[in-house]
Amino acid sequence: MKRVVLGVSASIAAYKAATIVTKLKNQGVDVHVIMTQNSTQFITPLTMQILSENPVHVDVMTEPSVERINHIYLAQNSDLILIAPTTANTIGKIANGIADDMLSTVCMATPPSTPKFYAPAMNTKMYEQIITQENMAKLARYGYQEIKPVVERLACGDIGIGAMAKVPEIVDRVMAELNSVRV
């Protein structure tokens, strides 16, 4: 069974992560959810735990097992990392090597050969900001693959690029990678 770590950062699109979990589980994927502290204001860890049938990880300092270090275990025992939604904050942290929460720490500990995808979700101005674009260019150099956001009405009322990609596209990209033959 393939294992995916799904990182959820603090965007209104966090509620869509529940559907991502469900669709991946329906395809036989073992999903382990990591939520940033602020993402828990949009969707609860309990919801994600029920859907994933696995404990949800929020605090890097919580070690559920004395036999292993949680963030190292998750990073080294996953077939793919997916961060959906991904905020500008999370993009900046990972691109600049900041590991100050469970999600960014797992990303730092993930082997370079593990496929890594992220689906940005933010206001158009934030997405187009040169700092965000430079951070995403760094992520690309580090092997992260962007699942591009779409143009639609955003939570702030603006219409523009920044809405998280549609769930079926995200799931299709993940499944295509998991099912690809890696030599």
Looking at the chain, how many residues does it have? 183
Active site residue 107: no
Rg (CA), the chain: 15
153 pairs with which residues across the strands?
Answer: 159
Neighbours of 181 (CB within 10 A): 4
Phi (first) and psi of residue 159, to 5 degrees: -110, 125
Q: Measured at the alpha carbon of residue 166, what is the angle toward residues 160 and 172, in degrees to the nearest 5?
A: 140
Neighbours of 99 (CB within 10 A): 16
Give the H or E element holding residue 41. none
Q: Catalytic: which of 156, 158, 159, 168? A: 156
Check if the beta carbon of residue 81 is closer than 8 Å to that of residue 114: yes
DSSP class of residue 65 equals -
Neighbours of 167 (CB within 10 A): 18
* Residues carrying an active site annotation: 156
